[in-house]
Amino acid sequence: MQVRRDMIDPELRRRGALLGRVLAARSEEQLRRGMSVPGAVDTWLRARVPRGLTRTEEHVTRPDGSTLRLFVYRSATARPDAAPGLLWIHGGGYASGAPEYEAAGLRPLISGSGAVVVTPAYRLSTEAPYPAALDDCYAALLWLRDNAARLGVRSDQIAVAGASAGGGLTAATTLYARDRGEVGVAFQMPIYPMIDDRGDNESTRDNDAPIWDAVTNRSAWRMYLGDLAGTDDVPAYAAPARATDLAGLPPTLTYVGDIEAFRDETVRYVEDLRAAGVPVEFRLFPGAYHGFDAIVPKAAVSVAARAFRDQWFGYAVRTYVAPQP
């Protein structure tokens, strides 16, 4: 899909053009070199705890003896003993990012519901390909289940959410949890999720929108899938758009921009969920490219998207439960 300037929401154009010149059409080598955050910025982002929240660090030992770091965010004032628990998975094309970078976006979810948020520093594709990230996210979900009482979390109200690659890992983690039967997930929010490695739909093919285009998408998937890339052996746990049975997945919220590469795969995922009997709330935001709500947060379309997310999250907390097995 070729994206003309007039197709982009006017409030998103300037920043999209600026970032697009830096981020567009990245090869695998460029992704490895260019997706890291400058040292001073990285240090500031990792140290920053949004006002009104507290952060603690926890650790999970992986089967190989290495350590998975988890961060727990919660209200600095409220200490409910029956809070919703949210596993938030950060984005970054599976190749970059850190849980601390997205902390500010968690504040509305926490302040509106008292939620306790656990967010893992999962292994990136630059460190290890699939299934390393999924293994880490699922380990974090089990840790949240096992520590619910200590955290003041309702054991029957554990949810999973994230955006972009975090949305892809959200969809993969809930699918894996359904099939393993070890942990109940009350609801999920895979926001503009990265879930289809094939790239053979209209919105992804030849997409040249700002921020995340078709070339970058192919490179990121090759890095994440490793030796599986380009084969018919890619499992649905790596690319959830390949799943053929979505029955029994938790109630879902998602949204996506109508000019971004992930539009069609998100729409298809929504249609397949609904066909499987899963309750879904979905919106398509006109003129919006990938990550618009974070990149231009004050734009009207971004404000509307976050309001849609936050209002549904409140509804889901009041409505959906999933007892633990």
Domain count, the chain: 1
Residue 39 banded pLDDT, cuts 50, 70, 90: low
pLDDT at 41: 64
204 DSSP 8-state letter: T
Distance CA 1, CA 63 (A): 43
Question: Could you tell me if residue 16 is inside a domain?
Answer: yes
Q: What is the CATH number of the domain that holds 71?
A: 3.40.50.1820
Residue 40 banded pLDDT, cuts 50, 70, 90: low
Question: Could you tell me if residue 325 is inside a domain?
Answer: no
Question: Could you tell me if residue 324 is inside a domain?
Answer: no
The 10s digit of each residue's pLDDT in 170-198 is: 999 999 999 999 999 999 999 999 999 99
* pLDDT over 60 at 34, yes or no: no
The 10s digit of each residue's pLDDT in 105-133 is: 999 999 988 999 999 999 999 999 999 99
What residues form DSSP beta bridges with 72? 56, 118
Average pLDDT over residues 43-63: 88
Question: Could you tell me if residue 143 is inside a domain?
Answer: yes
Q: Distances in Å between the alpha carbon of 105 and those of 96, 131, 176? A: 18, 27, 26
The 10s digit of each residue's pLDDT in 255-268 is: 999 999 999 999 99
pLDDT at 16: 86
Average pLDDT over residues 34-60: 79
Question: Could you tell me if residue 227 is inside a domain?
Answer: yes
| Cα three-residue angle 251-189-2, rounded to 5 degrees | 120
The 10s digit of each residue's pLDDT in 127-163 is: 999 999 999 999 999 999 999 999 999 999 999 999 9
Distance CA 239, CA 247 (A): 17
* pLDDT over 70 at 36, yes or no: no
Mean of per-residue pLDDT scores for the chain: 93
- Tokens describing residue 136: 């880490």
The 10s digit of each residue's pLDDT in 222-253 is: 999 999 999 999 999 999 999 999 999 999 99
30 DSSP 8-state letter: H
State pTM to two decimals. 0.95
Check residues 42 and 300 and name the one with the higher pLDDT.
300
pLDDT at 43: 73
What residues form DSSP beta bridges with 67? 61
pLDDT at 107: 94
DSSP, residue by residue, 239-307:
SGGG-S--TTPPPEEEEEETTSTTHHHHHHHHHHHHHTT--EEEEEETT--TTHHHHSTTSHHHHHHHH
Range of lowest pLDDT (41-50, 55-64, 66-75, 186-195): 41-50
Question: Could you tell me if residue 98 is inside a domain?
Answer: yes
**Domain span holding position 77:** 5-319
Residues 91 and 295: beta-carbon distance below 8 Å: no
